[in-house]
């Protein structure tokens, strides 16, 4: 297994380099103009100078290599320096990947936005899983019961109604219709500046997280509970379940030890595979609730033709996707004794 992991990790390097190049190529081919948002009164020569100052006059491959140098060498070295005070080379004047629109290092922007995304989107993911797994198990065990029917109906809704609809609906109900003094009132705007340093603030934080988390959790749970149900049903009809019952095991043991253990194998894989989505943020939901997370950052970057930002952010998502693919494979190997990688 270790061998396999190392081998796989090794092979991700060329893959990721290739991906980074493709991203760069696509962004370069896109009809982008970083000066496009500037006032019309700015004369063309000035625009040209601005473009030059951003390094846009250099050929594509030079710009790509520069980005590679900045991202793969300078940024890690900078992290070492900032986190561990471990200085290699010229630590103060290193050129980092900088956003064109804000001029601040892209990695700093990302680090700044990460907590909001992890809190809201990550939490929604955890809540979604916690809701989905029991629902999936019970729906499968009591197939076609009223519980299963209602579960099917709700997950159909959660699955097919877009988050921008459920989000706005919740806002209308809980922020508009319900009186602001009521216990059930919830804020529609996520306040990033809130510092949780007391129970009162913690309560505020919880309240402002409820709606975005619920919107996303519903969506995630809808998918995952269906998946869990299908996987359970696959296994419930297997011969080994009959064997387990014929041994005299309790129904609970049959279900939660024998069947669940098998059903979790594909489900865990799916969960692992979709973790990168958490980091990707939920672009729409973050917009609706004004959560300034990574999804929003990406949108701003795209709108402002901020190529280094978009390039870096997209590439980090790519890294996460490749990485969690590997994690999923490894988990599969750990959970299923029939899989041997070596």
Partner 1 sequence: MLDARATILDVANLKTVFNTRDGMVHAVNHVSFSLAPGELLGIVGESGSGKSVTMMSLLKLLPMPPAEITDGDITFDGRDVRAMSDDELRRVRGGEIGFIFQDPMTSLNPVFTVGFQIMEPLRIHLGLNKKAARIRAAELLELVGIPDATARLKDFPHQFSGGMRQRVMIAIALACDPKVLIADEPTTALDVTIQAQIIELIKELRQKLGMAIIWITHDLGVIAEIADRVAVMYAGQIVEHAEVSELFKNPQHPYTRALLETLPDMSGTRSKRLRSIDGQPPALGKAPSHCEFAPRCTHAFDRCLKENPKRRDVSDNHDVACWWDAKTGGAADA
**Whether the Cβ atoms of residue 64 and residue 24 lie closer than 8 Å to each other:** yes
Which of 134, 240, 256, 303 lies at the binding interface for partner 1 (CB under 8 A)? 240
Of 134-142, 201-209, 225-233, 258-266, the segment contacting partner 1 by CB under 8 A is: 258-266
Give least dist CB 126 to partner 1, A. 25
Six token digits for residue 40 = 């019309």
Give least dist CB 269 to partner 1, A. 14
Give least dist CB 272 to partner 1, A. 18
E strand or H helix at 232: helix 199-236
Q: Is 342 among the residues that bind partner 1 (CB under 8 A)?
A: no
Which of 74, 262, 311, 312 lies at the binding interface for partner 1 (CB under 8 A)? 262
Which of 118, 233, 265, 320 lies at the binding interface for partner 1 (CB under 8 A)? 265
Q: Is 230 among the residues that bind partner 1 (CB under 8 A)?
A: no
The 3-state secondary structure of 240-309 reads HHHHHHHCCCCHHHHHHHHHHHHHHHHHHHHHHHHHHHHHHCCHHHHHHCCCCCHHHHHHHHHHCCCHHH
**Of 280, 289, 293, whose CA–CA distance to 117 is shortest?**
293
Of 17-25, 196-204, 247-255, 317-325, the segment contacting partner 1 by CB under 8 A is: 247-255
**Of 301, 303, 305, 298, whose CA–CA distance to 284 is shortest?**
298
Q: Is 231 among the residues that bind partner 1 (CB under 8 A)?
A: no
Which of 92, 195, 337, 342 lies at the binding interface for partner 1 (CB under 8 A)? 337
- The three-state secondary structure class of 86 is coil
Give least dist CB 301 to partner 1, A. 45
Number of residues interacting with partner 1: please give it, by CB under 8 A: 21
Give least dist CB 254 to partner 1, A. 10
- The three-state secondary structure class of 340 is coil
Task: Tell me how far apart the alpha carbons of residues 231 and 267 are, in angstroms, rounded to a whole number.
Answer: 8
Q: Is 242 among the residues that bind partner 1 (CB under 8 A)?
A: yes
Which of 109, 244, 294, 313 lies at the binding interface for partner 1 (CB under 8 A)? 244
**Of 120, 298, 116, whose CA–CA distance to 192 is shortest?**
116
Q: Is 74 among the residues that bind partner 1 (CB under 8 A)?
A: no
**Whether the Cβ atoms of residue 318 and residue 16 lie closer than 8 Å to each other:** yes
Residue ranges in contact with partner 1 by CB under 8 A: 238-240, 242-251, 258, 261-262, 265, 335-338
């Amino acid at each position: 297994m270790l061998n396999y992991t190392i081998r796989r990790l090794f092979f991700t390097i060329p893959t990721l380099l290739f991906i980074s190049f493709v991203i760069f190529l696509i962004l370069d081919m896109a009809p982008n103009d970083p000066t496009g948002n500037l006032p019309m009164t700015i004369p063309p020569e000035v625009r040209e100078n601005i473009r030059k100052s951003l390094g846009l006059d250099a050929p594509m491959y030079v710009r790509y290599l520069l980005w590679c140098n900045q991202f793969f060498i300078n940024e890690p070295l900078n992290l070492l320096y900032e986190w561990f005070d471990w200085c290699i080379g010229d630590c103060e004047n290193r050129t980092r990947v900088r956003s064109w629109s804000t001029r601040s290092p892209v990695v700093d922007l990302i680090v700044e936005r990460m907590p909001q995304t992890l809190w809201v989107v990550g939490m929604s993911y955890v809540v979604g899983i916690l809701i989905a797994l029991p629902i999936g198990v019970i729906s499968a065990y009591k197939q076609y019961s009223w519980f299963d029917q209602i579960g099917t109906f709700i997950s159909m809704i959660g699955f097919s109604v877009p988050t921008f609809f459920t989000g706005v609906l919740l806002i209308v109900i809980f922020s508009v219709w319900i009186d602001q003094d009521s216990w059930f009132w919830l804020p529609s705007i996520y306040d990033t500046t809130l510092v949780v340093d007391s129970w009162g603030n913690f309560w505020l934080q919880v309240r402002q997280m409820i709606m975005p988390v619920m919107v996303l959790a519903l969506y995630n749970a809808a998918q995952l509970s269906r998946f869990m149900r299908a996987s359970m049903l696959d296994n419930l009809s297997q011969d080994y379940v009959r064997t387990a019952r014929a041994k005299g095991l309790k129904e609970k043991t049959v279900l939660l030890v024998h069947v669940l253990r098998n059903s979790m194998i594909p489900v865990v894989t799916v969960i692992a595979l979709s973790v990168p989505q958490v980091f990707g943020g939920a672009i729409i939901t973050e917009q609706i609730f004004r959560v300034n997370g990574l999804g929003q950052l990406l949108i701003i970057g795209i709108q402002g033709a901020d190529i280094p930002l978009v390039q870096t952010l997209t590439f980090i998502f790519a890294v996460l996707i490749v990485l969690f693919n590997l994690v999923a494979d490894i988990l599969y190997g750990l959970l299923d004794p029939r899989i041997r990688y070596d």
